[in-house]
Amino acid sequence: MSAGIGELRTLPPVEEIEGRDASRCDRPSSEGTPSAGPSPPIKCVYSASLADLCRYTFTAIAIDEATKIKGESTLIGAGIRQLSPRYRLVLTGTPIKNRVPDIFRLAHWATGGHDDATARWPYACQSSEREAFANEFLVSERNVTKEEAARSAQERRPQGRYKKLTPQVCNIHRLWKLLGPIVLRRLKKDCGEDLVPKHRYVIRVPMGSEQARVYRYHLEGEYLDCNGKPAVGAQLQALRVAAAAPHSDLLKYSPQPRSAPPLPSRSDTSWIPKYATALTLVEQVLARREQIVIFSALIEPLETLSRRLAEAGVPHLVAHGGSTPAKRRKLSAQFKLGPAVGGIAVGESGNAGCKPVPVLLASGECMAEAHSWHLCNNVALLAYSWAYDKLSQAIDRCHRLNSVKALNYHAIVCDGSVDRKLEQNLQEKGDASDLVLDGHLLGENPEELNMADLLAVAAREFSAESKTVHESVLEAEWPALRTRLHQSATNWFREPIPVIQIPQCKPHPWANRRRLVRV
């Protein structure tokens, strides 16, 4: 395949091309008129990819984290679909990342990856076939009112403009018959090992006074795109950032204000009740001689907590997309050592050079795969992601088959913000995935919300008269919390590990916590 790469070749003149009509082979000149004679030299720059070289090399191929090949035009998906082994195994914990069509490319390649429809997978390789798959197994909605209005106005617009597909699944029996022979579903509880339980806690915290003003500014602001139309996606992203990091540089865009007097677009302080609650939770975990991972879909909350923990003298690690994968692997391996006894990690007690760390601040996007922290039994979430699989896999980094303690998952939700609806949507996506793969019927149909509906929910959830905590109060309480954090971190390395069968976390003074137990 590499023969001829880098060589310069000149095609012969048109009149010398044997077996062709010279009048049909004329090449256009720079002026656009046909011209005969030799063409400019052509350089071969082809370079074979790994998929080209290995297309027929292997008899069997197993793909891990196969959800990455679900894309139609991604390099990973195109490269994997080019491989043609005789035996194929597709491995993934989230075959349906958000909606049912996510499994289309995985199932198509696992059943042979044929160009035409077969008995095992009655869909061809074209992208239009994936659309047909989605139309068959997803509930569709049509806006009949807008269709009739456009028809009466004689507007020439495609009919698909007034039709959308929802996450709700239909034709369940046919879908099960299609996926049943090719999908082998095995959960952790099906492996014959006793799995530690997973306890889910929802901690609701109020907004800070300055944070509430920033949130209201972006909620009432008029976001417009380059065409002058409402930019709902940008506004929702701003609300999500304001709920987790009102001081973020991502809020530097200033929409047209609608309220008077004008409100601030960004906060001058990075200290909000959500961070105070997270650090209080860290202090309680350290007092129990345990480890904790704090996940966030945004980098700013991780950096803010890192500065506070460093000020309190709490050893911690920070792993997000700003560091290289090699560095993140080293940080993950260090955190995997587990709790300390006399300064030595439990997981590596024979190595005197190990430095155990009690706290890991991690990004849910880049640390949700290929990591295992079985000695850590506490997880907290600060900022939600749009993808269900990232959240689920991030939590499962600590919920392992060899975990020694029950996992405590704490969802810190900013009250009155878009956090609550994002959390609910992620749970509904998980229910839809179980419906398709396991046959677990939903108790009720999830409410489908597009971006405009989600923005309306955010406006309905927020109230300017809601109770807030002023940031100055948090700053006044920080010295006492800093002292407790430092003392707990010191004892984490010195005192022996207490035996606590069911750890119970005390809620923050401002927090309203509900406990939901899911086994």
Between the CA of residue 43 and those of 11, 92, 191, what are the distances in Å?
Answer: 11, 42, 57
Q: Which of the residue ranges 132-141, 247-256, 368-377 would you say has the lowest mean pLDDT?
A: 247-256
If we measure between CA atoms, which residue out of 344, 346, 400, 347 comes closest to residue 377?
400
Taking a C-beta distance cutoff of 8 angstroms, is the pair 12, 38 a contact? Answer: yes
pLDDT for the residue numbered 343: 45
CA distance 450 to 423: 15
The stretch 244-252 carries a mean pLDDT of 85
| Confidence (pLDDT) at 268 | 86
The number of residues making up the chain comes to: 519
Whether 497 has a pLDDT exceeding 50, the answer reads: no
Average pLDDT over residues 344-371: 71
pLDDT band at 436 (very low <50, low <70, confident <90, very high): low
Residue 167 has pLDDT above 80, yes or no: no
Average pLDDT over residues 406-417: 87
Q: What tokens does 443 get? A: 């108790």
CA distance 508 to 205: 8
Higher confidence at residue 353 or residue 175? 175
pLDDT at 401: 82
pLDDT of res. 25: 47
Return the pLDDT at 194.
77
Residue 348, pLDDT above cutoff 60: no
Contact 474, 509 (CB under 8 A): no
Does residue 434 register a pLDDT over 90?
no
- pTM here is 0.68
Question: Six-digit token pair at 317?
Answer: 């690690």
Question: Is residue 432 very low, low, confident or very high in pLDDT (cuts 50, 70, 90)?
Answer: low
> Is a pLDDT exceeding 90 seen at residue 59?
yes
Please state, in angstroms and rounded to a whole number, the distance separating the CA atoms of residues 61 and 83.
9
* Residues whose CB is less than 8 angstroms from the CB of residue 288 and which lie 6 or more positions away in sequence, other chains included: 498, 500, 503
Give the residue with greater pLDDT, 424 vs 32. 424
What was the pLDDT predicted at 310? 94
Beta 42-43 vs 292-296: how paired, if at all?
unpaired
Q: What are phi and psi of 338, to 5 degrees?
A: 95, -170
Tokens 């989600």 label which residue? Answer: 454
> Would you place residue 306 in the very low, low, confident or very high pLDDT band (cuts 50, 70, 90)?
very high
Higher pLDDT, 505 or 98: 98
Look over the chain and give the mean of its residue pLDDT values, rounded to a whole number: 77
Interval 123-160: pLDDT, tens: 998 888 998 998 888 888 777 787 777 777 766 665 55
pLDDT band at 107 (very low <50, low <70, confident <90, very high): very high
| Three-class DSSP labels, 266-292 | CCCCCCCHHHHHHHHHHHHHHHCCCCE
For 32-36, 75-79, 195-199, which range has the lowest pLDDT when averaged over its residues? 32-36
- Can the peptide bond before residue 261 be classed as cis, meaning omega within 30 degrees of 0? yes
Specify which residues 319 forms β-bridges with: 362
Q: How confident is the model at residue 391 (pLDDT cuts 50, 70, 90)?
A: confident
Q: Exposed, middle or buried: residue 145 (CB in 10 Å: 0-12, 13-18, 19+)?
A: exposed
Residues near 3 by beta carbon (within 8 Å), at least 6 away in sequence: none
At residue 224, φ and ψ (nearest 5 deg) are -130, 145
Task: Look at residue 516 and tell me whether its pLDDT is greater than 80.
Answer: no
CB 136 within 8 A of CB 177: no
